[in-house]
Amino acid sequence: VSATNLSYRLVAMAVPPPASHSYGYLMFSFLCLSPILHTATASSSSSSSLSSLSFKLPPMGWMSWELFRCNVNCTGKYHDTCIGHDAFVKQATVLIKDGYFRAGYNRVHVDDCFANRQRDPVSGDIVADPTRFGTGGMRKLATDIAPVELAVYSDCGTMTCMGYPGSINHEVHDAKLFFQKWGATYLKYDGCYNNITGYPSGYAKMGQALRSAGGEKTYYSCSWPAYLGDDETKKPYAQMTAAGCDLWRNYGDIQCDLGSLMDIVDHYGDYSKFLATVSGQGKGYNDPDMLLIGNTCIPDGAARLQMAVWSILAAPLIMGNDLRLVPTPIRDQVLLNEEAIAIDQDPLGIPGYRASNKSDVAELWVRPKLADGGAAVAVVYKGGSSLTRARLERNPSGSAWTTRKIGAVQLGKTKKLTLHVPFGAEIGWSPPSGTASVRDIYARTSLGEHTSGVDVSLTVTEGIPETVLLRLSDAADSRAVSDARK
């Protein structure tokens, strides 16, 4: 077996199967994995870097694009799901009412299609469409959603991807408009209607303008690397840090289906060890795109998988759902799970990675450097080899789209899996005292104390992903915390 292979074998049948299915235990061993260990100190950038070295964690919030897209019809039944003032206020209201804001989801993101087709001929401003945002425009929206913060969108080209005014050659003007006049605290900066040679100067110009206009507490999200192909090792991440990017979209847009999610998980897994070396606190965060959690387009198991993988990667937690329709169980177990959020928002800001080889069956993802000296581990069951893989790609010359699909969905047998998670070199973490306390994050329960590793069990159905997310702590530290609370 290769040093980074994830091997498994079929053993005895476990629990009685449904009449139409048969299944057995699968025992997985994670053998001789070789993770990359990373320094716990955020690296300093050069004096020429525009990126803030202040304390920044992956941003959290809600974004319109995944479901509302470019719907500019705010009449009748579309009033609450269009790119308009009232729809955003309603999402912000739920953000506060249902506990998201308290959990850390503190922004509402207005994506493309909010503006008039032309700038104001006198002021030169980008103007929110007054038929959808009223005469108060974006400033009024920022006021009405407070204390939720406003995130806005523009483009490093002559136009946005959907043909609205871009910000190229207007960087200083627009930065003051977004952050000072409108009161936004976050800019997502897309890359349509520009090109590879124009990105370095274009993103750096806006980065400088944003720092001057908004200071160090604002966020600058760059779509730059998403337009440079699939090979992450060939992308100039040091330049992106120097340009002031706090985070960046690396890859294709996520679509509301299981195949798209799994394609993104595979891509980030394939490059995760490299990406962990170029990202994190003081550098910038990798953004695998919006959370689909709470939508009907993915099953609950895939929701648990996405939250776990995003938390391991130290990725932004920006929801792409209709908050009014999120089922309460998945909201409380996953989106509002304070322990999963704590892993994602760990103050060291050091990303994790996929420790095992890619597999259609099960994988091991680890984040071995947390601020309390512990580690996080996700045991990811991917559903077998029958998943549909789909990807929607954007062309930087505009909004041309290409869809790629592989395979077909075939839901199959139900099985009970027992998976062994070892401590030590395999996951890049060992308990200093020799004994670890293990906690199941989604079940919100302790799995006890263990020395060499821990077995976890889950019941799965072929074709439907599932994940166990664990937090590992040194048992001596856990006992000390428990005693202090008594």
Tell me the catalytic residues: 190, 253
Coil vs helix vs strand at 70: coil
Q: Which of 369, 372, 203, 151 is nearest to 281 (CA)?
A: 369
Tokens 């320094």 identify what position? 39
| 3-state secondary structure labels for all residues of 234-291 | HCCHHHHHHCCCCEEECCCECCCCHHHHHHHHHHHHHHHHHHHHHCECCCEEEECCCE
Torsion of CA 194, 198, 204, 208, to 10 degrees: -70
Structure tokens belonging to residue 420: 């062994």
Structure tokens belonging to residue 155: 């483009």
**Strand ranges, E, within 145-218:** 149-155, 186-190
CB 4 within 8 A of CB 30: no
DSSP state at residue 206: H
Could you please report the per-residue DSSP string of 95-149? HHHTTHHHHT--EEE--SS-B-SS--TTT----B-HHHHTTTHHHHHHHHHTTSE
The span from the first CA to the last CA of the chain, in angstroms, equals: 48
CB half-sphere exposure, 3, CA atoms < 13 A: 6
Classify each residue of 420-447 as buried b or exposed e, where b means 16 or more C-beta atoms within 10 Å of its C-beta: bbbbeebbbbbbeeebbbbbbbbeeeeb
Tokens 């936004």 identify what position? 184
CB 92 within 8 A of CB 148: yes
Could you please report the per-residue DSSP string of 393-417? EE-TTSS-EEEEEES------EEEE
Listed in sequence order, the residues at least 6 apart from 305 whose beta carbon sits closer than 8 Å to its beta carbon are 261, 265, 378, 380, 382, 465, 466, 467
**Cα separation of 419 and 219, whole Å?**
39
CB half-sphere exposure, 418, CA atoms < 13 A: 13
**Cα separation of 270 and 267, whole Å?**
5
Structure tokens belonging to residue 263: 């394609």
CB 188 within 8 A of CB 145: no
